[in-house]
Amino acid sequence: MMTIATKQYEALTDETAIALARSLYPFPEGAELVCREIGDGNLNYVFQIKDPKSGKGLIIKQALPYAKVVGESWPLTLKRAVIEANALQKHGEFAPGLVPVVYATDEELAITLMEDLSHLTIAREGLIQGEAYPKLSEDIGEYLARTLFHTSDFALHPFEKKRLAAEYSNPELCKITEDLIFTDPFFNNDTNDYEPELQSVVEAIWNNAPLKLEAAKLKFSFLTEAEALLHGDLHTGSIFASESETKVIDPEFAFYGPIGFDVGLFLANLMVQSITRQGEERQIVLSHTEKTWDVFSARFTQLWEQEGIEAFKETAGYKEFVLEKIFRDTLGFAGCELIRRTIGLAHVKDLDGIEDAEQRIRLKKQTLQIGEALILKRAELTSIGALTGLLEELQP
């Protein structure tokens, strides 16, 4: 991995991105490179630079000093580019093949040069088009178990774990999550965004004292429980996929947090997709939901038994206690994500893209209903089958 000779921050253009790519990547002599800005996320620019003749290409991702989704009025640290590049490499140590290869980084320019994944599709887009992605849940279950186990106290010396927790201190990006997922949707806040037809259900959330108490507890966990190096934003828009490949991208929200947050965010985004599907198509996504947890918990168990360093690792009931805690957190965090993706800031195309207004509102109400149930009943839902059972009961 290379470090680029730095200069002062400036936003890349197609021309400067091409020049940078040419200086850092072995494109054929005289190659006529083409550049496209392909970023459709909320925060960054993503340039794809390609030599159409040889088919060789790479990605340059550049953080902007503000949140693209809102504009310059929302300043945002450029340090997130370093966090992202380092997290890609750290997670790549444990889940090789499931994250893109990083070629070079530059802290001043806030850029990362990485493997071109343009032969793959963003999983959210593909799922909306009806793709089944047969490897998705197995790969993400593996990714979650390997990255989270290996960066936790169950695998690391406490000095190394705390060194990493300090390295990945990411207060500004965490604050976005604290506000957008855990706080704002539960109050009458300006960042919320919902159709007038949802006004009464939204107000019912703001007035639901038991729900708010549980949301507060989940926020407290997110704020305080430094269990493992999380991806921090593992929704289906942070995953590239095909029939045979899965790559997790965009860990700029990485920090030391509760393991169930990564698992819960991914499952919530699968749940949104399952709510929009019917019949056999819905079953495919529900199977992914179950398999993600099954693969995650089986691999986590295996790593615990074979590679765990915790003195209590063989104490009867301890491993089960840890996995039950992760599962309960997973459900609660998933519930908060479902509510925020429906009425908070940064919606998802799965729901907002439904053109029939009546159907869209009906499915959004179902999403909110499942979100609330997961938060309130997370201690009673003790198996992944109990979760998918809730989704199976929904009227298509």
Q: Which residues contact ligand SR1 (rule: CB under 6 A)?
A: 41-43, 67, 69, 176-177, 180, 233, 346
Q: Which residues of 327-361 are buried (b: 16+ CB within 10 A; e: fewer)?
A: bbbbbbbbbbbbbbbbbbbbbbbbbeebeeeeebb
Instruction: Dig out the tokens for 236 from the structure.
Output: 């289906």
Instruction: Dig out the tokens for 327 from the structure.
Output: 């599962």
Q: What are phi and psi of 104, to 5 degrees?
A: -165, 155
Residue 17's binding partner out of ligand SR1, Mg ion, none, with CB under 5 to 8 Å set by partner kind: none
Q: Which stretch binds Mg ion (CB under 5 A): 9-17, 35-43, 344-352, 383-391?
A: 35-43
From the list 236, 262, 213, the residue with the least C-alpha distance to 372 is 213
Q: Which residue has the tokens 């708010």?
A: 212
Is residue 41 involved in binding Mg ion (CB under 5 A)?
Answer: yes
Residue closer to ligand SR1, measured from CB, 87 or 284: 87
Q: How far is the CB of 337 from ligand SR1 (least distance, A)?
A: 9
Residue closer to Mg ion, measured from CB, 99 or 370: 99
Q: How far is the CB of 68 from ligand SR1 (least distance, A)?
A: 8
Q: What are phi and psi of 171, to 5 degrees?
A: -60, -35
Residue 51's binding partner out of ligand SR1, Mg ion, none, with CB under 5 to 8 Å set by partner kind: none
Sketch the per residue contact string, 280 through 319, with Mg ion: x for CB under 5 A, - otherwise. ----------------------------------------
Q: How far is the CB of 177 from ligand SR1 (least distance, A)?
A: 6
Residue closer to ligand SR1, measured from CB, 191 or 208: 191
CB 191 within 8 A of CB 344: yes
Residue closer to Mg ion, measured from CB, 41 or 308: 41
Residue 2's binding partner out of Mg ion, ligand SR1, none, with CB under 5 to 8 Å set by partner kind: none
Q: How far is the CB of 357 from ligand SR1 (least distance, A)?
A: 25
Q: How far is the CB of 42 from Mg ion (least distance, A)?
A: 7
Q: How far is the CB of 67 from ligand SR1 (least distance, A)?
A: 4
In sign, the C-alpha dihedral spanning 115, 129, 291, 219 is positive
Write the Ramachandran bin of 154: left for phi over 0, alpha for psi from -120 to 50, otherwise beta. Answer: alpha
Sketch the per residue contact string, 96 through 125, with Mg ion: x for CB under 5 A, - otherwise. ------------------------------
CA 280 → CA 6, 193, 274, distances in Å? 53, 32, 10
From the list 139, 35, 46, 40, the residue with the least C-alpha distance to 84 is 46
Instruction: Dig out the tokens for 177 from the structure.
Output: 């999550």
The SS3 assignment for 251 reads helix
Q: How far is the CB of 107 from ligand SR1 (least distance, A)?
A: 21
Site for Mg ion in 235-254 (CB under 5 A): 250
Residues contributing to the site for Mg ion (CB under 5 A): 41, 250
